[in-house]
Structure 1
């Protein structure tokens, strides 16, 4: 193993572009996945028979087939019907639709966790149904669903490696291409693994900061800034205390 070569890979523009592409795919897919999941969860709240039937088919389709199958289908099969997307768009679309199916269940559970009495109280105060949802239900549901959404974000980061099958130059594909030129797979994959660990660490820190900002009890406990280790292990510590 050559540590110098690992360092060269870490600072090389090729690996940096691959890491940025991985990050871009993750953020875009998660953003559109959350939006899709929120729409589905709200449709389920309306208890519309037609809407729930569409949602049921969507969940059955995207939870019942592999993500890799969905990526290949959108990129290779849809063009035969006259629907063409770039490799990047196909990757983000497939990951977003797949993520939306799982986000819908997470968000639905968060919405249902808010007691119905609070909705009734909001309506009694003269709020409309949309205002109750926006001002009363969603802020409380956000605090409940943030930990599983954080886990989904890390999972999405790792799933992004699958888009290499449609030649999107994300981190793992870049590492494999570089290693295939000189057969130094250990160094190239080590550099890619360090990038993945760095990105997941950033996500975990951001999740811990967001959980703290949304938890009113934690906001009242002093003003000391938590250390990095406290942010990384905050979820596990809180679980053990409970």
Structure 2
């Protein structure tokens, strides 16, 4: 097999130009993931009647089925029964599907972080006259957030890599462009090598930012003490 290294080098900036779309999908999906996961976590943490069984079913479904199946079901399946999904753009369906999938896993990490906060913190807040919601928002969540930074960053990296599935819905992000280049030139090795390098570099950059954020949070936490 002859590998055209110069072709791979020429196509690298072309493929890299679509990294912005990949990051857009990842960031928006992560924002939605955090909102969904936080809501689910609080419902399960306080064992809210009626809602707890529903969110448990949601978690079982999205953890027990492949991401690709979920994306296809949301974009192609729901389009046949709902006008809302019929008009939904592929990129929005990808963001929604990725967030629903990721939240089913992230909620477990959030719950672990909440349970890692000493019960005495909650009791102290309630003793001061704060409501359950106020105690959760002002006392428990800030501490849990610092604890959860490493695992949430890992969740974001996993989500970033999962955005590569968006091209199956027709979204032209990194993998979408790689697919076009590969199919047009039949130089699949070179095209996928470029994608490999880009995803790896993005993941490493996020990992570096994670370490920086952890150090900052430790400094803030130490100053507060």
TM-score, reference length from structure 1: 0.84
Q: Which position in structure 1 is the counterpart of 2:24?
A: 24
Q: Which position in structure 2 is the counterpart of 1:4?
A: 6
Unpaired segments ≥5 residues, structure 2: none
* Residues 81-129 of structure 1, C-alpha deviations (whole Å, 9 max, x = no match): 1232211111111110011111111111111111111111112223232
SS of equivalent residue, structure 1 residue 215:
helix
| Residues paired across the two proteins, number | 218
- Separation of aligned partners in 2, 1:105 and 1:16: 33
- Separation of aligned partners in 2, 1:37 and 1:142: 13
- Separation of aligned partners in 2, 1:105 and 1:188: 36
- Separation of aligned partners in 1, 2:131 and 2:100: 31
* Residues 185-208 of structure 1, C-alpha deviations (whole Å, 9 max, x = no match): 222122212211221111101111
* Residues 24-78 of structure 1, C-alpha deviations (whole Å, 9 max, x = no match): 1111111111110000001112222201111111111111111100000011111
* Residues 151-195 of structure 1, C-alpha deviations (whole Å, 9 max, x = no match): 111111111111211111121121121122122222212221221
Q: What does 1:1-242 correspond to in 2, within 5 Å?
A: 1-12=3-14, 15-82=15-82, 83-84=85-86, 85-216=88-219
Q: 1:216 Cα deviation (Å)?
A: 4.1
SS of equivalent residue, structure 1 residue 49:
coil
SS of equivalent residue, structure 2 residue 172:
coil
Unpaired segments ≥5 residues, structure 1: 221-242
Is the Cα–Cα contact under 8 Å of residues 212 and 219 in structure 1 kept in the other structure?
no
Query: Cα–Cα, structure 1 residues 48 and 217, in superposed 2: closer, same or farther, change >3 Å?
Result: closer
Query: Cα–Cα, structure 1 residues 29 and 180, in superposed 2: closer, same or farther, change >3 Å?
Result: same
- Separation of aligned partners in 2, 1:182 and 1:219: 56
SS of equivalent residue, structure 2 residue 22:
helix
TM-score, reference length from structure 2: 0.90
Q: 1:16 Cα deviation (Å)?
A: 3.2
- Separation of aligned partners in 2, 1:217 and 1:57: 38
